[in-house]
Amino acid sequence: MTIEALGAGINVDPHVSKLLFDHAITTNPEPDATTFDLDHLNRHGIIEHDASLTRPDNRFGDPGAFDPEVFEETLQYWPEPVVDIKQGAAARLGRIRTSAVTNVDFVMTQEDNFRGLGEIAGFYLTLGDRVAGTVNRTWLVHFLGKRKKLRLGRYKF
């Protein structure tokens, strides 16, 4: 079900969906689990992590909750209508620097770094032009949680 949902919902490759599912299963604390739920995924260090583009570091609040101030910092790195890979990487690096300076508990493991890189790569793979490495800023802002109304063709969201 996860593979089908990710493919149909946000165009995630079936092989990537399988990798995500296999990791998600490990978040269920029950031995030999074959399912997971969103509460399992919402724990710090699973999907959300310190230096997130949209969430507070664990020390400063609920790492599963959208934080407008954190997102405003991220948006400073995306001034143009199209966000390229360099701007995505700059936002990621900016958030790492902020966390390193402000959060005495900040630690970045290799796995944390991979999660953060996956966060950025996901934008281009699901919402953007995979070849050019660009994504429409309006779509990205809407997807990440700044819920302004968005008009796509005749549909208003």
- pLDDT tens-digit series, residues 97-136: 999 999 999 988 888 888 888 888 888 988 899 899 999 9
Residues 85 and 31 in one domain: no
Structural domain that includes position 128: 51-156
Residues 37 and 70 in one domain: no
Q: Which amino acid is at 7?
A: G
Tell me if 58 is assigned to some domain: yes
pLDDT of residue 16: 84
Residues 93 and 116 in one domain: yes
**Among positive and negative, which fits the CA dihedral 5, 10, 11, 16?**
negative
Residues 26 and 62 in one domain: no
Residues 70 and 141 in one domain: yes
Residues 101 and 126 in one domain: yes
Tell me if 151 is assigned to some domain: yes
As a whole number of angstroms, the distance between CA 34 and CA 27 comes to: 11
As a whole number of angstroms, the distance between CA 94 and CA 87 comes to: 10
Residues 85 and 109 in one domain: yes
Band of pLDDT at residue 155, cut at 50, 70 and 90: very low
Band of pLDDT at residue 138, cut at 50, 70 and 90: very high
What is the pTM for the complete model shown? 0.76
Tell me if 46 is assigned to some domain: no
| pLDDT, tens digit, 9 for 90 and up, residues 59-108 | 998 877 889 999 999 999 999 999 999 999 999 999 999 999 999 999 88
- For residue 46, is pLDDT > 80? no
Report how many domains make up the chain.
2
- For residue 11, is pLDDT > 50? yes
Residues 88 and 136 in one domain: yes
Residues 148 and 77 in one domain: yes
Band of pLDDT at residue 42, cut at 50, 70 and 90: confident
Residues 144 and 73 in one domain: yes
Residues 97 and 115 in one domain: yes
DSSP conformational letter for 145: T
Tell me if 127 is assigned to some domain: yes
As a whole number of angstroms, the distance between CA 10 and CA 42 comes to: 19
Residues 55 and 10 in one domain: no
